[in-house]
Amino acid sequence: MSKQPLIVVRPYTPTDMAILEQTYDVYRLWEATDKVSFLRKFGPGVRALATDGEHGADAATMDLLPDLELVASFGVGLDAIDLSHARRRNIRVTHTPDVLTEDVADMAFGLLLACARRIPQCDSYVRQGRWLEGGPGLTTRVWGKRLGILGLGRVGRAVATRAEAFKLEIAYHDRCRFDDVHYRYFDDVAALALEVDFLVICASADTDTRGLIGSHVLDALGHDGMLINVARGAIVDEPVLLRYLREHLIAGAALDVFHNEPNIAREFGELDNVILQPHQSSATKETRASMGALVRDNLSAYFAGRPLLTEFLGPVR
């Protein structure tokens, strides 16, 4: 029995790739020097495309696959997939929510602690032998402070659970108020920023949130405020954030996501009041294994004619 063809946009883990290649006739798009020619040659007859949250699938790619019926993404974010075009072509889209929630929330809270207590900077201070000069100065308390969460979805709620253990006063902004939580709700993100010490971004990137964190929000966050982003770089106006960090108009930031990853703005590396991570929030062995398994389970379900496990059926923005 012949294998179903499957185009893979970017390599998954070696284990995931080995399993996919046992099951499908895999075409490795990332190895093609001319991707358009590659898709024109191998695209006809291909019903499924496996991608990830960073590379997604744009309209041009989908249109080079005339028989495409499924885009299976390794990641929860869907901003790199042209969902409107997929809907127009009746292409179904799956992603990997839930399995990465707790690890992303761990990273968010770890970054908050690292930013407030300046953990990486103090580590460097000791390594450089500067402790002999005296202490590195005072840092900022976390427990009992005020936390604002932008986006009270799966990750936002998991961050809030951790924050409760630190006795933080929690507030949030989302498209709507949720009746099942007791946290204070703000219908404007700048109004939220004005009332908190730490602002954690957990929202999805779409037309409503792109560039949402600009000067008006950072002004409200203020000189003592700190920004943590584990969502998408596109939500933040990066040139504005760099200026606010450079001029110490906010106290600091901790970022796991950026524009133009991995070719991020060099100035970030020159600033002492920002903590940088290479998009590592879900990068644990356990979570990545679960994400890979969920991609495979969605592919298996599709080709077997069973219901998809985690099909995206939400509104397209």
Residues noted as catalytic: 232, 261, 279
Distance CA(224)–CA(137), nearest Å, equals 16
Cβ burial of 208 (10 Å; 0-12, 13-18, 19+) is exposed
CA atoms within 13 A on the CB side of 242: 13
Report the distance separating Cα 224 and Cα 156, nearest Å. 22
Give Cβ neighbours of residue 214 (< 8 Å, ≥ 6 apart): 237, 240
Asked whether 155 and 282 are in contact (CB, 8 A), the reply is: no
- Token readout for 73 is 């993404």
Rounded CA gap, 40 and 38, in Å? 6
Rg of the Cα atoms in the chain: 21
- Angle value at C-alpha 202, between 235 and 281, nearest 5 degrees: 100
Q: What is the 3-state secondary structure (H, E, C) of 148-191?
A: EEECCCHHHHHHHHHHHHCCCEEEEECCCCCCCCCCEEECCHHH
State both tokens at 287.
């979570």
Tokens of 229: 């982003």
Query: Cis peptide leading into 136, omega within 30 of 0?
Result: no
